[in-house]
Amino acid sequence: MSESLLLGVDLGGTKIEAVVVRVTNDNDFTVIARERTDTRANEGYEAVLDSAASIITRVERSANVGDLAVGVGMPGGVRRSDGAVKNSNATCLNGRPFRAELQARLSRKIAFDNDANCFALAEATLGAARAYRDGVVFGVIVGTGVGGGVVFNGRLWPGLHGIAGEWGHHPVRFGDDAAPCYCGQRGCLERYASGPALEAHYASLSGERRSASEIAARRDSDPAARAALSTLCDAFGRGLATLIDVLDPSCVVLGGGLSNIDLLYTDGVAAARAQVFNDELLTPVLKNALGDSAGVLGAAMLAKPA
C-alpha cells in the first residue's frame, strides 16, 4: 500500500501548529511529528512570516525528513486580483502577499486554504464523514463565528470567489428587528448561531455572563438558558434547511465549540426538518471526530497529490 508524507500548518491568530503526517491511499494516518509556536501577530507581518517558515523547518527536522509537500490553513481568504490576504484575524496579514512570500522564503510550492475548508477536508477524508467522501460533504464551523467548507468527491470546492461554504452570512431573520452584522447585512446566521451570539442573548435575558457550555448545562434549570438555546437551535435549523435545499449534501459534519452542544443534533435538526423543502430529512448531521486536530490535518491533506 502506497503512502504519502505530508506537512500541515494551522496558522491561527495566536498560535501556529505544524504536523508531519503519514497518510495511506486508504486515508489511514499517523502523526509523525508535531510542533507549536506563537504566531507573533502582535509583532507584525514579518514576525508571522518568520514564525511560519521556522516551524515548518523545525517540524521537518523533528521528523527527520527532507523538504515535504506543505499545506497551510489560515483564517480569511485571498483576493483573486493580487493574491493578498483578506479577512484574517491575524490582521497584520491583511493586504499582504503572505502566501507568495512564504513560498519564496522556503523555495517551494505550498498549498493554501482557509481554516474552515481545512476542517471540512479533514473530516471528509480522515474523520467523521469519511464514509461519505465520494459524495458531497459540508463541514460546518459553529464557534466564535459560523463558517464552512464544501468537499466534493474527496476534493475541496472553493467556488469562483473562494467563498463556497460561507453559510454564516445569509439571513435567517428579516425586518427592522434583524440584528446587524459586521459584514454589513442584517439577520445573518452568525448573529444568532455563534458562541458570542448565544452568550450575549443569555446575558440580555438573565443579566449574567456565562460561557456557551455553562448555558447548555443550565437548560433544564434556567429559563434564560432555555430561551437562548431555543433561539440558537431555531436559527441553526433555518440555516441548515437553506443549506440542504441549495446543496443537498451527502452529510453535514459539525465542528467548533458549539458542536459540543447536543441540542444542535436534536432540536436543531428538528428545526431544519420543519423548514426544509422536502417531506423528510435524511441528511446525516454528524459530530466531528478529529477535534482540535482537524485544522492541521486538513492543511496536510491540501498537499496530498491528486
pLDDT of residue 205: 98
In this predicted model, what pLDDT tens digit does every residue of 194-247 receive, in sequence order?
999 999 999 999 999 999 999 999 999 999 999 999 999 999 999 999 999 999
Tell the CATH topology of 3-119+292-302: Nucleotidyltransferase; domain 5 (3.30.420)
Which residues is 4 bridged to in the sheet?
23
Burial 185-210 (b: 16+ CB within 10 A, else e): ebbbbbbbbbbebbbebbeebbeeeb
Question: What whole-number distance in Å separates Cα of residue 32 and Cα of residue 34?
Answer: 7
Q: Does residue 4 contact residue 305 with C-beta atoms inside 8 Å?
A: yes
Taking each helix axis from N to C end, the angle separating 45-63 and 98-106, rounded to the nearest 10 degrees, works out to: 40
Question: What whole-number distance in Å separates Cα of residue 48 and Cα of residue 180?
Answer: 32
Distance of alpha carbon 270 from the chain centroid: 23
Per-residue CA distances from 172 to 194, 233, 235 (Å)? 13, 12, 6
Q: Do domains 3-119+292-302 and 132-288 have the same CATH topology?
A: yes
Q: Does residue 134 contact residue 115 with C-beta atoms inside 8 Å?
A: no
Q: Is the dihedral of CA 94, 197, 164, 75 positive or negative?
A: positive
Domain boundaries, the chain: 3-119+292-302, 132-288
Question: What whole-number distance in Å separates Cα of residue 27 and Cα of residue 47?
Answer: 35
Q: Strand order of the sheet with strand 136-142?
A: 155-156, 146-152, 136-142, 251-255, 285-287
pLDDT of residue 25: 84
- Of the candidates 78, 7, 75, the one whose C-alpha atom is nearest the C-alpha of residue 41 is 75
Show the low-confidence residues of the chain (pLDDT under 50).
none
Please state the pTM of the whole predicted model. Answer: 0.93
pLDDT of residue 1: 53
pLDDT of residue 290: 96
Length of the chain: 306
Question: What whole-number distance in Å separates Cα of residue 33 and Cα of residue 8?
Answer: 11
pLDDT of residue 13: 83
pLDDT of residue 72: 97
Number of CB atoms found within 10 A of residue 107's CB:
7
Ramachandran sector of residue 29 (left: φ over 0; alpha: ψ -120 to 50; beta: rest): beta
CATH no. of 132-288: 3.30.420.40
